[in-house]
Structure 1
């Protein structure tokens, strides 16, 4: 059963195992954290097991350093019948100073599934504030753009066969 929690934030320290060859946190580690936060948020909203259907628009804005306090915030910004669009912001700071700076942001679409792995309905999210309405409208515009991009990609796939 859903507890209707719309937002969740994961907090932890970036570890030496997360570092890339350039000495900063590896983008793959950040993407893993994004997926974890999206799952936790989608499961809390829907009360169901959820799978990742899409992660896109990932922007790596600033590096994360080993030892930084990392916050991965996830928020439901649109719901379909079985899907949830989750906005993700990753921020980091030196734990001695705690001045967060945006490092990464993206959109993740999660789908709730039943015990057989089939899509399962989710509670509707209805925006109440002007900011929430803008977030929902943005999610809808992005969904329409992804449809157009998908159609363009199909043309490329035909020529690769």
Structure 2
């Protein structure tokens, strides 16, 4: 079975309150991560019609800070479907409600796994790729997965060859004392 990504896309908007701020008066990154995880869960669960768990989060870069009193909008969409997993793209934007100015705050990719009532992985519907953008997102997810596999294998303790990386450390804020 295949489903359109439009069927499971979710958007939420929330007012940022002082209780969400850190010591510098900006919205705490952990609070935003929590919202991102919630919307990724909702999107994945809506697509799969099953309870979903977060398997991994691929890179979260905080591009712009968010101020108390701004509206934060999170958008989630299924970018990729495997057998039991989905990659959910999440975009975070903030809006100053007085000026109307919006900022892209961050984007990230959540790998979510669908579970049955016994906690076992369950197959998810595939997605219908109906635009160049959906094909680009699906392809990017495949490439990201392949890069992650390469990264994790080359730095396994049993596979790591120090002499291949020692020159890489030159010019960095580290001192080798072996």
One fold, TM greater than 0.5? Answer: yes
**8 Å Cα contact 1:3-1:46 kept in structure 2:** no
TM-superposed CA distance for 1:6, in Å, is 2.9
Is 1:110 aligned to residue 112 of structure 2?
yes
Provide the rounded CA distance (Å) in 2 between the counterparts of 1:154 and 1:15.
43
Q: What is the match of residue 37 of structure 1?
A: 39
1:89 maps to which residue? 91
Partner of 2:166: none
User: Which consecutive unaligned segments of at least 5 residues does structure 1 have?
Assistant: none
Asked if the contact 2:153/2:159 (under 8 Å) is kept, the reply is no
1:98 has 2:100 as partner: yes
1:96: how far off?
Answer: 2.7
Name the counterpart of 1:64. 66
Partner of 2:15: 13
In 1, Cα distance between equivalents of 2:46 and 2:100: 27
Displacement, 1:121? Answer: 0.8
User: How big is the shift at 1:97?
Assistant: 3.2
Equivalent residues of 2:74, 2:90 under 8 A apart: yes
SS of equivalent to 1:154: coil
Measure the CA separation in 1 of the matches of 2:111 and 2:58.
9
1:125 corresponds in structure 2 to 127
TM-score under structure 2 normalisation? 0.82
- The answer to whether residue 148 in structure 2 is matched with residue 146 in structure 1 is yes
CA contact (8 A) 2:78 2:89 kept: yes
Deviation at 1:15, TM superposition (A): 1.3
Gaps of 5+ in 2: 161-178
Q: Distance in 2 between matches of 1:89 and 1:143?
A: 20
Q: Secondary structure at the match of 1:76?
A: strand
Larger Rg, first or second structure (1 or 2): 2
Q: Which stretch shows the higher mean deviation, 57-66 or 148-157?
A: 148-157
- Number of aligned pairs? 157
* Aligned-partner Cα distance in 1 for 2:131–2:39: 23
